[in-house]
Amino acid sequence: MDSVFPPLTATGFDAITSALPAVVYLLVALAAVLYAPRDTRTRVFLLVAVTNLAPYALPFYAWRRPGSTFTRPLLSVIAVSLLLGSLALFHFTQVFPWRRPWIRRYFELLLTGYLLGPFIVLGLIWFAPATPEEMQAAYAVLTLFIGLPTVFAVGVVAPFAGLLSLYYSYLAARAAGLDRARVPLAGIIVSQLAGGVLAILVIPLLHFVAPSGPWVAIASALLAAFGVLMPLAFAAGIWTFGVLTLDIDDLPSIRSALQGPIEPPS
């Protein structure tokens, strides 16, 4: 299985631009929890920061150990961190700055993802055959009907639903005239949207069409900047705009913002 992935390579610039958001995330999260230890929003943000550590640290690891490969233990750590990080980020969008209807009704579903998701990912990794020819029917069936739906739900549905939830929270804040919620939400939305486009589309495309030019480094620097924007927006929301003074269970209506009778999704 190790031969499926090329050797890990990273420059010092890659290591710094990747580690910087992780450090800022963790510092802001720890400070926020110390400031408001009983607030759900700060505790979930700390979970986001902790689950982000392994993926953000991977370029630093590759830089310090050039030529390393994705062993099963390393791949397990990264995959589980990505899964839990996606769930934690979705969780955060459901409680910041207000608790949304979805989390009220289906928190048990999210909790199930936290508990079962890592076991599904670890099973796919540790029981994966060394070569495609060695794949057995049982593993193929489990991958098709359990593994792929899990990856799709966590890697595609959860990020999109989380971004949509942030947008509806932004509309609610704007409709209620609450700048202390609207401004931090705007920063977080920009961070997630721009960072996602850079990480998923722009940087992989640049690696393919212009691997030796300066554009990959520029895009990586922008990705780091947008990555830092989210914890900074969260910090500004706490210490500049006082977003934690908002009642987490008092989600404003956004009917006036939508200008229509349609009930928005959660």
Quote the CA–CA distance of 61 and 64 in Å, as a whole number.
Answer: 5
Q: Which domain holds residue 45?
A: 2-258
Q: What CATH number did the domain enclosing 189 receive?
A: 1.20.1070
Provide CB contacts within 8 A for 80, sequence distance 6+. Answer: 118, 121, 122
Report if residue 265 sits inside a domain: no
Report if residue 264 sits inside a domain: no
Quote the CA–CA distance of 231 and 58 in Å, as a whole number.
Answer: 20
pTM for the model stands at 0.90
Report if residue 263 sits inside a domain: no
Report if residue 266 sits inside a domain: no
Report if residue 207 sits inside a domain: yes
Predicted pLDDT of residue 207: 67
Structure-token pair, residue 109:
């579903």
Provide CB contacts within 8 A for 247, sequence distance 6+. Answer: 98
Counting as low any pLDDT under 50, the low residues of the chain are: 257, 260-265
Report if residue 99 sits inside a domain: yes
Quote the CA–CA distance of 153 and 50 in Å, as a whole number.
Answer: 21
Quote the CA–CA distance of 151 and 117 in Å, as a whole number.
Answer: 9
Number of domains composing the chain: 1
Predicted pLDDT of residue 247: 96
Tens of pLDDT, residue by residue over 240-253, are: 999 999 999 999 98
Q: Name residue 37's amino acid.
A: P
Predicted pLDDT of residue 163: 96
Report if residue 14 sits inside a domain: yes
Report if residue 237 sits inside a domain: yes
